[in-house]
Amino acid sequence: MAELSKKNNMSSSPSGESAGENQKNVLQKHVAFFDRNKDGVVYPWETFKGFRAIGANLLLSTLSAVFINVGLSSKTRPGKFPNFLFPIEIKNIQLSKHGSDSGVYDSEGRFVSEKFEEIFKKHALSNPDALTQEELKALLKSNREPKDYKGWVAAWTEWTTLYSLCKDENGLLKKETVKAVYDGSLFEHMEKETASKKKK
């Protein structure tokens, strides 16, 4: 998270968000959920805790922590020596964008609504506001860039994980759910749902 003056850190918007929160781009907000201690850096154990908080099992949480932090750490720390704790610096998260993606985040980490709508116009054929598993496969295939194998794996991992965790009882990944994951609001909702289920 970019450093702000003490004055900015203490100020807040009418909606109750801090100035620092308001200055984050959408991609940063997407990742910020996993910054469990809110210091602007996400370590593997925080990624693990974040996935557990949204209801992922031990295996998925462990694999996600390893895959995400090892894959993104160096990209978000340009010019710095490797750190074997694999921290991800949220302020530079846009540098970790991979190829073969949907283009919903631009190069600055901003949300591109036209690209988001395009996903469903092109691929949501059975239901205009949701994706089936087969439609999701078609989306991934259509976004593939030639010989971008890392991008293929990253995109497949992201979307498959999202589908696994968030599909409804009919096997549909709803449009509103996908939009919520892009801005990070879905994670907080899932955390509350998971915590509520544990109390029962």
For 138-160, the pLDDT digits (tens) are 999 999 999 999 999 999 999 99
The domains of the chain, with CATH numbers, are 7-96 (1.10.238), 100-200 (no CATH)
- Rounded CA-CA distance 164/176 in Å is 16
Beta strands in the chain (DSSP E): 41-42, 88-89, 130-131, 173-174
Confidence of residue 11 (pLDDT cuts 50, 70, 90): very low
Q: Which of 50, 54, 58 is nearest to 33 (CA)?
A: 50
Separation between Cα atoms, residue 190 and residue 182, nearest integer Å: 14
| Number of alpha carbons in the 13 Å side-chain half-sphere of residue 78 | 7
Say what the pTM is: 0.81
pLDDT tops 60 at residue 3? no
Residue 121 pLDDT > 50:
yes
